[in-house]
């Protein structure tokens, strides 16, 4: 399988090439030349596979440059019960007789769904870099959970350094402590004076400096990394099969989403033949995606419009993976995609109303809803009272919006995004008690912090990276 850029660069290489490279040279995102599909008999064959076996079948068509035995071993090393808490890896839990179920994705090392892909990336990076005798310096941005998942997956890796940007003061206390308490020689935490979108723009700005990127071997693990999207598609298959539906019966999925990577993985699964009906995007007060699916207009929000909310991992005004979706809505036309993103770069909206592209969005199965602070508190409280289950505020956004779009007789699977322990203050506000946390995280907020504060400035960031890496040499 060869990969191309959403904006036209025609030869990004194979999976292991795009795994290490981050953004394409033209600023676009990696996409496969084609998306393989499963027919119904093939899907039935996948139904009873273990998680590592299922991951192999789903991912293998996109990964032709890792030998079969090696890929199977990487997946078996990744998806282990001792890492994710059970042999199911992603258990499906019905919420009583409501027709809603929670797909549990947050039982990994950092207590967030990002572990599902990031643990694979950790093993895959190590494998590829060893084979190529290379090093990579990962530059990433996080609104809360990607950072800790990446750092827990990459710590101790001899050929990998991680430079992780986060918006100063905009994550929960637990999220900050989980990242900043790590004292590892290959982990560098950077708190940026700005919002998540500023961090994301800094990552793209450094990647756009081809000479700096090549000199310092800059790579990416953000949701722009195709490896993450591909690994996340697997749990849609696993969640669907766990419902035990008759062959070909549809299920709907609701996904809390800010950067569009998690829900785009669901769309990839749907394009591969999984019988997904609706894909519901649940937004918080920062409702860029909700606005688009309701109006046909995609307008990036400026930093000063992005609100600080109680589901902070979705406090995003620019959804990076949305470019992949619009690329597909354009019939995989890179020229059209590049034209749209030139408008985005100029601060102008992309208006699809009245076009064939908007018609394609209409038939894609996507719907969208939004939630507020009061909504998520009420939902946390209700789910606790009715089903004896504590959920985090992002998952609450998903449960609330999923219930709005539930169709009679069609299961609605709501993706759990984090354990409530990561957002204890909001959960306590909702139900009057702090959620339990795993023993290894007790007192984490009191540990020493290892973090540098930098201005929202690409040159300052490049100077910081160069200084750290030159010192290692």
Q: Model confidence over 278-302: pLDDT tens digits?
A: 999 999 999 999 999 999 999 999 8
CB 430 within 8 A of CB 377: yes
In this structure, is residue 206 part of a structural domain? no
Q: Are 217 and 473 in contact (CB under 8 A)?
A: no
Domain with residue 100: its CATH number is 3.40.50.1100
As to burial, measured by CB atoms within 10 angstroms (0-12 exposed, 13-18 middle, 19+ buried), residue 254 is buried
pLDDT mean over 73-89: 96
3-class DSSP assignment, residue 403: helix
How large is the average pLDDT for residues 310-333?
A: 93
* Whether residue 313 has pLDDT greater than 90: no
**pTM of this prediction?**
0.91
Is 275 a member of any domain? yes
| pLDDT for residue 33 is more than 80 | yes
162 is a domain residue: no
> Which pairs count as long-range contacts for 82-90, CB under 8 Å and 24+ apart, including other chains?
83/108, 83/109, 83/119, 84/108, 84/115, 87/50, 87/51, 88/51, 88/238, 88/242, 89/51, 89/235, 89/238, 90/51, 90/116, 90/235, 90/238, 90/239
Residue 439 inside a domain? The answer is no
Does residue 176 sit within a domain? no
- Is 169 within the bounds of a domain? no
At residue 222, does pLDDT exceed 80? no
Q: What is the pLDDT of residue 191?
A: 93
- State the residue range of the domain holding 344: 88-111+229-431
Q: How confident is the model at residue 57 (pLDDT cuts 50, 70, 90)?
A: very high
**pLDDT number for residue 343:** 94
Average pLDDT for 418-432:
94
- Residues with Cβ within 8 Å of residue 136, at least 6 apart in sequence: 20, 125, 129, 159, 160, 161, 217, 218, 219
Q: What is the pLDDT of residue 351?
A: 96
Q: In whole angstroms, what is the distance from residue 184 CA to residue 14 CA?
A: 31
User: What pLDDT is attached to residue 419?
Assistant: 94
Residue 188 maps to a domain: no
The pairing of beta strand 251-256 with beta strand 276-283: parallel
pLDDT score, position 25? 87
Catalytic residues: 114
pLDDT band at 473 (very low <50, low <70, confident <90, very high): low
48 in a structural domain: no
What is the count of structural domains for the chain? Answer: 1
């Amino acid at each position: 399988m060869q990969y191309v850029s959403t904006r036209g660069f025609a030869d990004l290489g194979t999976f292991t090439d795009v795994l290490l490279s981050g953004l394409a040279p033209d600023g676009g995102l990696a996409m496969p030349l084609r998306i393989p599909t499963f027919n119904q008999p093939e899907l039935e064959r996948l139904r009873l596979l273990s998680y590592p076996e299922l991951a192999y079948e789903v991912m293998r068509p996109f990964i032709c440059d890792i030998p079969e035995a090696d890929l199977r071993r990487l997946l078996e090393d990744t998806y282990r019960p001792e890492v994710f808490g059970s042999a199911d890896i992603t258990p499906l839990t019905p919420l009583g007789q409501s027709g809603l179920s929670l797909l549990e994705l947050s039982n990994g090392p950092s207590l967030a769904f990002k572990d599902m892909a990031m643990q694979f990336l950790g093993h895959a990076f190590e494998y590829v870099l060893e084979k190529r005798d290379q090093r990579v310096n990962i530059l990433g941005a996080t609104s809360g959970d990607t950072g800790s998942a990446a750092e827990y997956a990459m710590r101790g890796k001899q050929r990998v350094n991680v430079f992780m940007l986060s918006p100063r003061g905009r994550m929960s206390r637990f999220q900050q402590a989980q990242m900043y308490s790590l004292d590892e020689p290959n982990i560098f935490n950077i708190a940026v004076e700005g919002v998540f979108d500023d961090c994301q723009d800094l990552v793209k700005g450094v990647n756009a400096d081809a000479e700096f990127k090549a000199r310092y071997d800059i790579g990416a693990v953000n949701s722009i990394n195709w490896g993450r999207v591909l690994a996340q598609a697997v749990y849609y298959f696993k969640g669907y099969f766990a419902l035990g539906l008759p062959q070909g019966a549809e299920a709907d999925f609701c996904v809390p989403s800010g950067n569009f990577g998690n829900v785009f993985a669901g769309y990839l699964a749907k394009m591969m033949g999984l019988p997904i009906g609706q894909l519901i995007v649940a937004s918080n007060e920062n409702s860029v995606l909700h606005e688009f699916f309701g109006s046909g207009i995609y307008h990036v929000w400026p930093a000063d419009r992005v609100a600080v909310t109680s589901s902070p991992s979705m406090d995003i005004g620019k959804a990076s993976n949305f470019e992949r979706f619009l690329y597909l809505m354009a019939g995989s036309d890179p020229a059209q995609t590049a034209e749209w993103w030139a408008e985005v770069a100029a601060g102008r909206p992309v208006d699809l109303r009245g076009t064939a592209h908007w018609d394609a969005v209409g038939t894609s199965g996507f719907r969208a809803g939004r939630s507020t602070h009061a909504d998520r508190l009420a939902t946390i409280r209700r789910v606790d009272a009715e089903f004896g289950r504590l959920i985090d505020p992002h998952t609450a956004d998903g449960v609330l919006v999923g219930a709005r779009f539930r169709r009679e007789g069609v299961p609605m699977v709501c993706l759990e995004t984090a354990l409530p322990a990561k957002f204890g203050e909001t959960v306590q506000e909702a139900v009057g008690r702090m959620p339990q946390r795993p023993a290894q995280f007790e007192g984490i907020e009191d540990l020493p912090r290892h973090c540098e504060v930098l201005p929202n400035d690409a040159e300052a960031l490049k100077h910081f990276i160069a200084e750290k890496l030159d010192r290692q040499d």
